[in-house]
Structure 1
Amino acid sequence: MKDRILPFRQIEWWVVTFLFVSIILSNVVTTRTFNLDFDQSMVYFAKIFIPLIFLASFYFFHMKIFPNFLQDGKKSKLIIYSILTFFGSFISIGAFSVGANFTSDFLMPFYFNSLAIYAGYGAIIYILNQILLTDINKDLQPYNILRFVLIYIFLVIFLFQFQRIAGQVVLLTFAIFIPVILTLILYNFFLVYGLKKQGRKGEANAFYILLIFIIAGIFIFISIGKGDPEFLIPGIVIIVGIIAILFPISNFFFKKYDNYLGEINSLNIKVDRSTADLSFLRSQINPHFLFNALNTLYGNALHENAENTAEGIQKLGDMMRFMLHENNQDQIPVIREKEYLVNYVDLQNLRLKDQENVEIVFSHSEENCPGQIAPMLLIPFVENAFKHGISFQKKSWIKISLRCLDGSVHLDVNNSIHRSNEEDPERKSSGIGLENVKQRLNILYPEKHDLIVRENDLEYFVHLSIKL
């Protein structure tokens, strides 16, 4: 309510609908339909159909004609449809008014008074917008509260000039009973329930007792002034209604509202925590892969007299560009993640291609992979395979399969296990990448990924499917 304007066009529509439905129901309930003569029947139907016509006219202009004009700016449509709505409602209401003897001719004061009230409300709202909505960064709560007050004021003004059709019951309900009930609810929220929620039960109980004494005092004073003890009965009814009905029901909804706010705050905290976790995880992953790549080039230079160093540096440059420019994005094309994975495996092949005991099989489709994916989700499983699956003395194998389908990515990694390889330059890597990617999968793709990990004494198998 502080940072945005409430949808007042819809609020005004629902308030007016509630008003006219109340008028119609009141007229239906308070009129005995049996043994009505012709004149009484005309009055009965007029009190039902006149509010219906007013409501329909309000809907067409307030919810359709004028909003469409604000969107397309076509004045001709606004004028034509407004004239049609005016004459349609004017003739219909006039026929019922004359038939029910509400007026002697078609120049109905209450009809034009209603139009004047609606036009006056619109003019005041326009002026209010020009005064209070010039600063987009200001607190909008006073504006929203003022709009509610204006809606109520013009509603009561309309009822006073429409009371011959609306009736005294509806007028008293909207002019007195509803404001009194809202005042009591606000009193309870701020001075009784609110203080109890703050742990100030003594003050809350004092305000609660004070309210009861004020109401009792008012009706005792009226009873003494009128000299009739029967005036105490409404006071007793009101006090019992407050104690047994109004305050318990309002407290129930206040608690529901507090629980709702608590859930929103919890969700906001979880979102902030998840965002912080993702940033932290990424900050861990970036140097992790960079150092692995440098170790690979170091081992390659020692074993091959620098014959393939140029190719290795080129691939490392592609990987570093990926980490610097794309790894910090929330989503990247799947093809870029695939290219990073291919470069990583190629660097490993440069280091291991002369090792007879090592078999590396990498199968992937050549066509482009469609869709978007969070970066650095696939490489940790492949990196883990090279970290634990390679031995220069024992038979080793790594088999990688990457399949890109429409709307999903599937990665299978199967490798031998050699955890005590002293000659492997990646043996001392930190190993945080695999745990981090599991956490990221749970945060970014809840219920949208399938991770299967199997392990025995000889080999390690990972299957990962992600719905993009």
Structure 2
Amino acid sequence: MNDMAIINVIAEPIQRNKIEFWAATTIYVFALFSLSVDNSPNESSFRHANVVYHYYEYFFWPQLVRFTVIYLAFLLLNFKVVPKLIRKETIWLNVLLVLAAFVAVGVVTGITDTYYKAYLLPRYDTVREFWNYTFQSSFQNTLRLLLVFGFYTFIKYFGLYLLSNSAAIQSRFRMVTQDLITAFMVWLVSVFILVLFDVGEEETVVWAFVSLSAILLYFFSFYELIPKSLGKKRPFGSYELKVLLILILSYLPAVFLLLPVLDNDEALGISFANALFQLVVTAPVTWFLYKRQLRGREEVVGLKKELGYSTANLDLLRSQINPHFLFNALNTLYGTALQENSERTAQGIQMLGDMMRFMLHENLQRTILLAREVEYLRNYIDLQLLRTSASPDIIIETKMEEVLEQKHIAPMLLIPFVENAFKHGISLQHKSWIRVSLHCDQNKLYFDVYNSIHKKSDQDPEKNKSGIGLKNVRQRLELLYPQKHELIIRETPEEFFVHLTLEL
């Protein structure tokens, strides 16, 4: 791990420090609370040694001072000293602080042990021998705690480094997610704190074993077992059966893992209890959380689809002129054209009015008949022919089949391609062509637009105007026909070609 990576990991420590602080403080408070509910666990040792026992003198105050000193030393080292050592700031001063914390904890716990373990005094010939034993044991335990703290620090910063590179790691190992790394770090912290406050070897082992098993089962179920069970007739039953098989196969290996710290009966019992807990609690909870997240993802996808559809429709609406004003203007122009015997102009105005009615009444629907979309395309092309038919250098070819079946399509999905062809493919000064074809085969639509390209002059007012544009069409296709369309666009300096295949 290089220096820059470490610095990046600790660049934003505030949130992490809060979590660590409150976790350590919570354990410290619970440790103090245990002093008031624990009914003098060392009293029997004093009685066997025939030493008069006083609860506060020989148990409460020594343990209170011990827990407090360890807690304060942890805060100092974890939040002040270690970050500066990693950043290589005032190294010698912070090394001295580590040694000072080690000596302080060793001395204070040694002093408290002379009270807490006073029942051992009769076993020694002199008080000095008892003190030597007590302080030697105290410094050995302090060294053990310091080593555990060093291990915890290494795991923590290594885990933070993994978190900062979780995306790259997950690209290679799908299950090694940021959540898994975080859960593993929390597990390490919890085990460290149990060891730090000397809760008990058996309790620490049970917690570490059961919680780690739950974490591993949760993530393995989330990314492997449950997704592969969803296609079954009884998905939950299939999932539980797989979990049961895994727990049966892992029962004996778990027993062997526990044997170094527990006897045979305890290892067998804890392994069985762990398997039962994972089957009855962890597996159903994981199933519930997975289904809940799945519903959440589906809702998010639906909302995104709705939002995208609304945005696309809004773009279409913004491209329209106020329809009431337009219809009034068209009616006026239509009457004027008839009065002046301009039949082609009147025909064009009538076609434009039909197109605007289509946009006003049918464009806002989710789907319309494909036949109506094709009719709109024909009207648009016929309207354009009114201005281009007089030019022999402009060729417009259409081959659009009649759609007899009740097939539906999203409105205004095809027209932008034709609009784009007329906008960029027609020039009154140069030879131009546009070819449009539409063909249906069962539930598939094949639509092609092929046109010439002419570079617009800098004085052309349409040069930098894009209208609705192909970008909007791409967005609508992704939202309305995911995995059900193929859009191929090819462009050369002289030609532009669009091919759309759509499942209706």
Which structure has the higher relative contact order (CA within 8 Å, separation 6+)? 1
Give the TM-score normalised by the residue count of structure 1: 0.45
Give the TM-score normalised by the residue count of structure 2: 0.42
